[in-house]
Chains A and B, each alone.
Chain A
Amino acid sequence: MTALSALIRRDVRIALRVGGGALIGVLFFLTVVVLMPFAVGPDLALLSRLGPAILWLGALLASLLTLDRLFMADHEDGSLDLITMSRTPLELACAAKALAHWLAAGLPLIVATPVLGLLLNLDMVATGAVALTLLAGTPALTFTGMIGAALAVTLHRGGLLMAVLVLPLSIPVLIFGVAASQAVIVGPMSFGAPFSILCALSLVSLVIGPFAAAASLRHGLD
């Protein structure tokens, strides 16, 4: 347990310091959202209708952008080999790394959501709903994205290949995240059903992600 908490603390610290690049994700998120009005026009009514979708897409792309750092830096300096060989099960170590990544790169996105909601003309309730769905949904993005990151590091191919592999897997999260936010803002639907499915998706990916990532690291790194 102490090994895992040490791993989490180390990863968060590395991500937040110079060269870590966790906060670049937030900057990217901000830039994508600012770009949207240039594409669809400065119509505030339209922007507030598209708001949840824009925020969700931005968060999805931002979390994808930071994901290939999850194993790459550790692979380059050799600490990934130490983690693989250590007595802690690799699945747990992968889960700890993904959790640390989410703390450093996922949480700031959610913190930034209210500011961006202001730019998109979302009211308090809508912004709160989007932030809540992001809080429930981004762990799923990180934990399924981790599979792609593990594949990328064993193949020494990052970037676009990983995006192509991971994006189709994140479709359910996107669907239910936007559905739950829209349910609060406009819809006749209840908020509870899509939101619970979103939480379920996060929990499922919490189980599948570490196992798949550990399997691909174990088979690929030798």
Chain B
Amino acid sequence: MTLIDLANPSRFLALTARVLPWLAGATVILLALGLYQSALAPDDYQQGATVKIMFIHVPNAWLSMFVWGVMSVASLGTLVWRHPLADVAAKAAAPIGAAFTFLALLTGSLWGRPMWGTYWEWDARLTSVLILFLMYLGLMALWRAVEDPSRAARAAAVLTLVGAINLPIIKFSVDWWNTLHQPASVMRMGGSTLDKSFLIPLLVMAVAFTLLFVTLHLAAMRNEILRRRVRSLQMMQASRMAFSSEVGAGSREENASKEFGAA
């Protein structure tokens, strides 16, 4: 089974129908395990119980970037190999990535309130994630701006790849801007390495969230394929109705002229 075999949407649908329940089950089990472990993890000596936000926050932040990577690969598939499912994958991933990015921002903000005393800080990391979120929204706006999916796909693919090149540059410049405006006062992560009692639940949660993304992505891709089928069926029906009404009108005129002639 190579990637090119999946070019047939029916085969893709059949395969994912078999795989999805297993994926969903594995996601639920790992999520439950991860949540249980993170609930059992000891409180931080400085941050208290709020450190447990980390187990949700960090996987979300990691996936916010991972999803853009997935979309970039899919965009290459659209532009270079013209793989029929690549643009479906790119389109389905964008809202999921935006949701993960939003959750990373939200949990970070909720974590920041007790820790830093503020919901929002123009910290370098926060700012670059916010820009990533804006770019996700822009990409979704681009998908929504055009009716024809294949036309939108190529435009979105170009924008995704440009974003993939630009995101590291933006990250770097925001870091520069931040050190220029304020010294690193907020958080010193680098100093302490994570203890094993935190690291293991975090890794489990990261794997669980990645599986969650894969599950949601495959399900969204199935929906997108079905949505496109419905759309093309509707177009066919509309054109058939337009055609039949045209023909009907034509024959009615003919009849009318015949009657007129007879009269």
Q: How far is the CA of A147 from the CA of B157 in the complex (A)?
A: 12
- Chain A residues lying within 8 Å of B135, measured Cβ to Cβ, are 168
If the complex has contacts A157-B145, A216-B154, are A171 and B165 also in contact, measured as CB distance less than 8 A? no
A185-206 contact mask (Cβ, 8 Å, vs B): 1 or 0: 0010100001001000100100
Q: Name the residue of chain B whose CB is nearest to the CB of A209.
A: B162
Report yes or no: A169 in contact with B162, Cβ–Cβ below 8 A: yes
In contact, B79 and A151 (Cβ under 8 angstroms): no
Q: Which residues of A contact B158 (CB under 8 A)?
A: 147, 151, 212, 215-216, 219
Q: Which of A81-89, A99-107, A172-180 contacts B (4 or more CB under 8 A)?
A: A172-180
Is A215 a contact of B79 with CB atoms below 8 Å? yes
Partner of B155 from A155, A175, A189, A201 at Cβ < 8 Å: A155
- Docked pose: A161 CA to B1 CA in angstroms: 40
B248 within 8 A of A: no
With A169-B163, A172-B170 known, 18 other A-B pairs at CB within 8 A are: A144-B162, A144-B166, A147-B158, A151-B159, A154-B154, A155-B142, A155-B155, A157-B146, A165-B138, A169-B162, A176-B173, A208-B162, A212-B161, A215-B79, A216-B158, A220-B151, A220-B154, A220-B155
Secondary structure of the B side of the interface?
helix
B165 in complex: contacting residue of A176, A189, A208, CB < 8 Å: A208
Interface residues on B, range: 20 to 34
Q: Is the interface of A mostly helix, strand, loop or mixed?
A: helix
The reply to whether the CB of B53 lies closer than 8 angstroms to some CB of chain A is no
Which residue of chain A has the shortest Cβ distance to B144 in the bound complex?
Answer: A161
CB distance from B98 to the nearest CB of A (A): 14
Interface flags, B137-180, vs A, CB<8A=1, else 0: 11001100110000110110011011101100110111011001
Chain A: minimal CB distance from B105 (Å): 15
Residue B186 at the A interface, CB < 8 A? no
Q: Which 4 A-B pairs have the closest CB atoms?
A: A172-B173, A219-B154, A216-B158, A175-B177
Any B CB within 8 A of the CB of A40? no
What is the distance, in angstroms, from A213's C-beta to the closest C-beta of chain B?
8
Answer yes or no: A164 CB below 8 A from chain B CBs. Answer: yes
Instruction: Let me know if B131 is at the binding interface, CB within 8 A.
Output: yes
Q: Which residues of A contact B177 (CB under 8 A)?
A: 175, 179
Q: Which residues of A from 80 to 138 have beta carbons under 8 Å from B?
A: none
A-B contact pairs, 22 of them (CB 8 A): A144-B162, A144-B166, A151-B159, A154-B155, A155-B152, A157-B146, A161-B142, A164-B137, A164-B141, A165-B138, A165-B141, A168-B138, A169-B163, A171-B170, A175-B173, A179-B176, A189-B180, A194-B176, A197-B173, A215-B158, A219-B79, A220-B154
> Which of B134, B142, B173 touches A151 (beta carbons < 8 Å)?
B142
Instruction: Tell me which residues across on chain B come within 8 A of A215, comparing CB atoms.
Output: 79, 158
Q: Give Cα A179–Cα B141 distance, bound, in whole angstroms.
A: 31
A161/B162 in contact, CB under 8 A: no
CA distance A165 to B131 in the complex (A): 11
Q: For residue B177, which residue of chain A has the nearest CB?
A: A175
